[in-house]
Amino acid sequence: MYAFLDDFGLPVTLTFDPQEYHMHDARHVLIFPFWQGKLLFTRHRERGIELPGGKVEPGESSLAAAVRETYEETGAVLNGIERIGQYTVNEELRKDIYIALVQHCSHPPTGPDVWETVTFDEIPTQVQGNPTFSRFLYDEVYPLALEQALKHPFALKKTY
């Protein structure tokens, strides 16, 4: 388990060990969607480049929310999805971290705050302080979760 302060100075705990996950689904999700071997980001109107994610709706599982948020924010139809981690901010906000394999992108993003999807020839490994990226990616969750995601078979697939 990792413990650190986020960019806002709030305490964060992060784990990739399923035995350390909280019993109940998290109320928020963060997704690392891989499409044709590239990580699929979104460009938020105000915050900049970030990963898809959001709140779990009432009656929805975190898995269902991850599928829905990825579709809304990227237009991606998934071929597979797995939880790879979980983190808690300030002992209140809990997020499940998912890795997803994108089958295809069916339409432009439909979320009200998302302009477009973004990919890079090389996946950015450190974005802290880069004003192009959302401040939500500035803490240690992004590089540590990316390290885990890049080991997963979904990240290694180039064609589907």
- We report the CATH number of the domain holding residue 85 as 3.90.79.10
Range 88-94 average pLDDT: 91
Each residue of 8-41: pLDDT tens digit? Answer: 899 999 999 999 888 776 999 999 999 988 999 9
Res. 160 pLDDT band, cuts 50 70 90: very low
Domain count, the chain: 1
Cα–Cα distance for residue pair 13/86, rounded to 1 Å: 8
C-alpha span between 67 and 82 (Å, rounded): 10
In sequence order, the 6+-apart residues with CB closer than 8 A to the CB of 124 are 130, 133
Predicted TM-score of the model (pTM): 0.92
What domain range is 140 assigned to? 2-156
